[in-house]
Amino acid sequence: MDQFWNVTSELLKGFGQNCTIFGLTLLMAIPLGLIISFGSMSGIKPLKAVVRTFVWIIRGTPLMLQLFVVFYIPSLVWGISFDRMTAAIIAFVINYAAYFSEIFRGGIESIPKGQYEAGQVLGMKKSQIFFKVVLMQVVKRITAPMSNEIITLVKDTSLARVIMVPEMLKAAERFTMQGLIWPLFYTGVFFLLFNGLLSLLFSYIEKKFNYYKG
C-alpha cells in the first residue's frame, strides 16, 4: 500500500508538469492561432504565402521532432539554450497554434458574407463586426473540432519526456527501470480522468450554444 501511495504521489508530481504544459499551451496557442489564421486569410499575398508555408511545415512534421529542434538548435547554432520546460512550451504553443489557426480559418470562412454586409450597412466598424457579430458564431461552429484538439493536447503533453521534462510518463519509466511495470499503465487513469472532465466541460459549452441555430 505504501508503494501505491508513493507511486501515485510521484506520478502526480509528473502530471503537474503535464498540466503546466497543457494550461500554458492553451493560453498562448489560442490567441497566436487567431493571429496566424488572420495571416493565412490575409489579402497581402506574400504574407499569406509565408503564413501558409509555416502552417504546412508545422503540421507536416512530428511534434517530437519540433521539440528536439526547439531544444537543441538554439544552443547548437547561437549558443543559447532554453530550459527544458520553456523549450517544451515553445514547441507546443507553435504546434498547436498552427492546428488551431486552421480550425479558426475554417470557422471564420464558414460565416456567410451577408453577416459582414449586414454589419457594414448598419455602420459598424470592421472590428465591431468581427467581435460583436462574427466571433460568437465562429465559436459555436468550432467547439467540436477544438475539443478534439484540446483532448489530443492533454495526451501529447507526455511527448515532452523526449527532451527530459520530468512529466508523468517519464516518472513512470523510472519505476519501470526499477522493475516496476504497473505504474506505466496506471498513468492512463490520470489522462482518462482529466479528459473525462474536459469532455463534460465541452458538452456543457455546446449545450450553452444550443439556444440558437445557424
Interface residues toward another protein, by CB under 8 A: 112, 114-115, 117-126, 128, 132-133, 136-137, 140, 211-214
Q: Which is nearer to another protein, 19 or 133 (CB)?
A: 133
Cα–Cα distance measured from residue 132 to residue 165, given in angstroms and rounded to the nearest whole number = 41
Q: How far is the CB of 108 from another protein (least distance, A)?
A: 15
Q: Which is nearer to another protein, 138 or 168 (CB)?
A: 138
Q: How far is the CB of 126 from another protein (least distance, A)?
A: 7
Is residue 148 within 8 A of residue 154, CB to CB? The reply is no
Q: How far is the CB of 117 from another protein (least distance, A)?
A: 6
Q: Which is nearer to another protein, 85 or 111 (CB)?
A: 111
Q: Which is nearer to another protein, 68 or 116 (CB)?
A: 116
Q: Which is nearer to another protein, 105 or 140 (CB)?
A: 140
Grid cell locating 123: 455602420
Q: How far is the CB of 178 from another protein (least distance, A)?
A: 56
CA distances 11 to 6, 21, 113, 169, 187, Å, are 9, 15, 50, 8, 7
Residues with Cβ within 8 Å of residue 178, at least 6 apart in sequence: none
Cα–Cα distance measured from residue 127 to residue 164, given in angstroms and rounded to the nearest whole number = 43
Bin 62: left if φ > 0, else alpha if -120 < ψ < 50, else beta.
beta
Q: How far is the CB of 128 from another protein (least distance, A)?
A: 5
Question: Which residue is associated with the grid cell 519526456?
Answer: 161
Check the CA dihedral 148-153-154-156 and report its sign: positive
Q: Which is nearer to another protein, 137 or 158 (CB)?
A: 137
Q: How far is the CB of 49 from another protein (least distance, A)?
A: 23
Cα–Cα distance measured from residue 101 to residue 33, given in angstroms and rounded to the nearest whole number = 4
